[in-house]
Chain A
Amino acid sequence: MELFDSESKKIVSDPLNVNNPISLQVLGICSALAVTIRLDQAIIMTFAVIFVLCSSNVVISLLRDYIPNRVRIVIMLSVIASLVSFVDEVLQAYMYNMSKQLSVFVGLIVTNCIIMGRAEAFAIKHGPSKAFLDGLGNGLGYGMIIIVVSFFRELFGSGTLTLPDGGAGYVLFQMPDWLYAAGYENIGLLVLSPGAFFILGFVIWMQREMVGLEEEE
């Protein structure tokens, strides 16, 4: 059982570029739009999704020989839902502010298409170590995109960059006052959901350009 042979590396690195769950498979868009207003929300969300994705992949992969084919969706959902409840409780206990900001979107990780998709497409057919790597890769691929989107949304929409801490967030960067005095204004559109669509569209455009994917002939 080699953990770092070329196949395993591919499992982790593919979702980061050529098979990114958001920018190439266009899955998990709803949460990518909802939690990207601030950078700290996106970072916490990334950790939550990586945890849920890795654990659910491992659990489902361990159970794969015992899951009857007909009820596999129900079993996957109950595994994912328990993990999400766990994450939700942890956030409420240790990061109450963040938990309030993310509100319903932590619970909605259950319906994130990426998690269900990886369980169905990968974990049910592969061993636990590979399933773990696949979960890690896809979680990172998801996180990468939402962090990039939230970076631009927060920087140009609200003029700040916030990192997560136990409380209301640590302000890493703030647009200097002289810039506002010179006539600069935050782009209000980016705080609204359509703003996330535009940024996401540009990110998808850039990524597909780099990967060289053409859907149309």
Chain B
Amino acid sequence: MNFLKNILKQSGKLFEEGKPLSWAYPVWEATDTILFSTDKQTSSGPHVRDNMDIKRVMFSVVIALIPCYLFGAYNIGYLNALATDVSRSLIDNFIFGMSYVLPVLIVTFVSGAICELSFAIIRKHEVNEGFLVTCALIPLTMPPDVPLWQVFIGTAFGIIIGKEIFGGVGTNIFNPALTARAFMYFAFPTKMSGDKIWAVGPDGYTGATALAIPANPTEYDTASNLLNQSTQFDFSLWNMFWGLIPGSIGETNKLIILIGAAFLIYIGIASWRTMLASVIGLVFTASIFNLLSGYSTNAMLTITPLEHLLIGSFLFGVVFMATEPVTSAHTEKGKWIYGFMIGVLTVLIRSINPAYPEGVMLAILIMNMFGPLIDYYVVQSNINMRIARNA
């Protein structure tokens, strides 16, 4: 290790101010701080007064995401075996899935690294580890058969528009990974809109995802019945919890997401307030819609709160996207409001707007926008309260 350290320190001199390679300083700095620790202190948020620096925060999130990748890969293989009627071992399924997941992952990182490094060099800021998390999140929100060039463009858009033009990590308004996904959702609706099947099958293999079934029923019935009638996949509650259903790479297995959530809460990165509040918001709105569902022929209204939790990417979005420390509300009271509204909006978009079967992405992006406003309100109301108390 010392050997490597010496090489880095020696070569570092080449990148100092005024030396020929000084333009590439961010590249050297990133290599150095990823391999070893840094002695620099953070001057702008997100920051914690702890030996837990941004790098460790970001790496912990990446660690929490790894199980999602592993299961996602297995699930792709499993669904493909189901579609093509071949039987494969667990390992073969996993390898088959990896052949789809890895290219997406590599393209995302290449695209993200190109954007991040160019901005680091031009704007002379340091390469921030935040982009690792962004790039690790993006493939998990993609359908397995997404074209790679679309991933490349989407990632570049997410990094540049979602983050860099606002000034880089810590100053962005929108979650870059979700910005990338939103871009692809509207730019390439045929691949991304979420109503077609999201599994790798033979050519022309098609079907409806769990959310699309109650969104476009052939005849009106409750969502539970419609899901149970589906013969193509097993949409029972238990199976949706286990995640052997079509969906984005990382969203399907709820158990792994819950373990990830527990891990992030335990080491103190993600806010349990945001997560709990979103679930409360979702249950609240879904219950109201259940009560009203008798007056409408919209089958989406009959989805029970539990089904809402298990269908689609709600849990994934709430655990890994909504809790992002930069774009969520910062105050504790604010996090309750922020999370609650994410839950409310998710159900609202899912149920009322037939064009968008999945609402988590838009709900989180909308609330990202309101995050600073919520904080302002919370801080201001606290100031007013204290003025009133001491007057």
Chain A residues with CB under 8 Å of chain B are 183-185, 187-190, 192, 194, 198, 205
Cβ distance A112 to chain B, nearest Cβ, rounded Å: 27
From B38-46, B71-79, B186-194, B205-213, the one touching the partner chain is B186-194
Whether B186 lies near A192 (C-beta < 8 A) is yes
Cβ distance B173 to chain A, nearest Cβ, rounded Å: 14
**What are 21 A-B contacts with C-beta separation under 8 Å?**
A183-B149, A184-B149, A185-B147, A185-B188, A185-B190, A185-B191, A187-B153, A187-B187, A187-B188, A188-B186, A188-B187, A188-B188, A188-B189, A189-B183, A189-B186, A189-B187, A190-B187, A192-B186, A194-B186, A198-B161, A205-B165
Known: A188-B188, A188-B189, A205-B165. 13 other contacts (CB 8 A): A183-B147, A183-B149, A184-B149, A185-B147, A185-B150, A185-B188, A185-B190, A185-B191, A188-B186, A188-B187, A189-B186, A189-B187, A190-B187
CB-CB < 8 A to A190: which residues of B?
187
Complex: A70 Cα to B9 Cα, angstroms: 73
CB-CB < 8 A to A198: which residues of B?
161
CB-CB < 8 A to B161: which residues of A?
198
8 A Cβ contacts from B162-218 to A = 165, 183, 186-191
Complex: A194 Cα to B187 Cα, angstroms: 11
Complex: A178 Cα to B149 Cα, angstroms: 16
Complex: A192 Cα to B149 Cα, angstroms: 21
CB-CB < 8 A to B147: which residues of A?
183, 185
Complex: A185 Cα to B150 Cα, angstroms: 9
Chain B residues with CB under 8 Å of chain A are 147, 149-150, 153, 161, 165, 183, 186-191
Cβ distance A199 to chain B, nearest Cβ, rounded Å: 12
Overall SS of chain B's interface? helix
Complex: A153 Cα to B351 Cα, angstroms: 32
Cβ distance B196 to chain A, nearest Cβ, rounded Å: 14
Complex: A187 Cα to B189 Cα, angstroms: 9
Name the CB-closest residue of B to A198: B161
Cβ distance B159 to chain A, nearest Cβ, rounded Å: 14
CB-CB < 8 A to A194: which residues of B?
186
Complex: A190 Cα to B165 Cα, angstroms: 20
Complex: A189 Cα to B191 Cα, angstroms: 13
Name the CB-closest residue of A to B191: A185
CB-CB < 8 A to A184: which residues of B?
149
Complex: A184 Cα to B150 Cα, angstroms: 9
CB-CB < 8 A to A188: which residues of B?
186-189
Name the CB-closest residue of A to B183: A189
Most buried by B among A183, A189, A192: A189
Name the CB-closest residue of B to A190: B187
Complex: A185 Cα to B186 Cα, angstroms: 12
CB-CB < 8 A to B165: which residues of A?
205
List the 6 closest pairs (A to B, CB-CB), nearest first. Answer: A189-B187, A189-B186, A187-B187, A183-B147, A188-B189, A185-B188
Cβ distance B107 to chain A, nearest Cβ, rounded Å: 14
Complex: A185 Cα to B188 Cα, angstroms: 7
CB-CB < 8 A to B186: which residues of A?
188-189, 192, 194
Complex: A192 Cα to B185 Cα, angstroms: 13
Complex: A160 Cα to B44 Cα, angstroms: 46
Name the CB-closest residue of B to A184: B149
Complex: A189 Cα to B154 Cα, angstroms: 12
Complex: A190 Cα to B188 Cα, angstroms: 10
Complex: A194 Cα to B182 Cα, angstroms: 12
Complex: A188 Cα to B193 Cα, angstroms: 12
Complex: A132 Cα to B165 Cα, angstroms: 38
CB-CB < 8 A to B153: which residues of A?
187
Complex: A194 Cα to B153 Cα, angstroms: 17
CB-CB < 8 A to B149: which residues of A?
183-184
Name the CB-closest residue of A to B188: A185
Name the CB-closest residue of A to B184: A189
Cβ distance B122 to chain A, nearest Cβ, rounded Å: 10
Name the CB-closest residue of A to B157: A198
Cβ distance A216 to chain B, nearest Cβ, rounded Å: 11
Complex: A194 Cα to B147 Cα, angstroms: 23
Complex: A185 Cα to B154 Cα, angstroms: 13
Name the CB-closest residue of A to B148: A183
Cβ distance A155 to chain B, nearest Cβ, rounded Å: 14
Cβ distance A202 to chain B, nearest Cβ, rounded Å: 9
Most buried by A among B149, B153, B186, B191: B186
Complex: A192 Cα to B147 Cα, angstroms: 22
CB-CB < 8 A to B191: which residues of A?
185
CB-CB < 8 A to B150: which residues of A?
185
Complex: A192 Cα to B187 Cα, angstroms: 9
Cβ distance A8 to chain B, nearest Cβ, rounded Å: 38
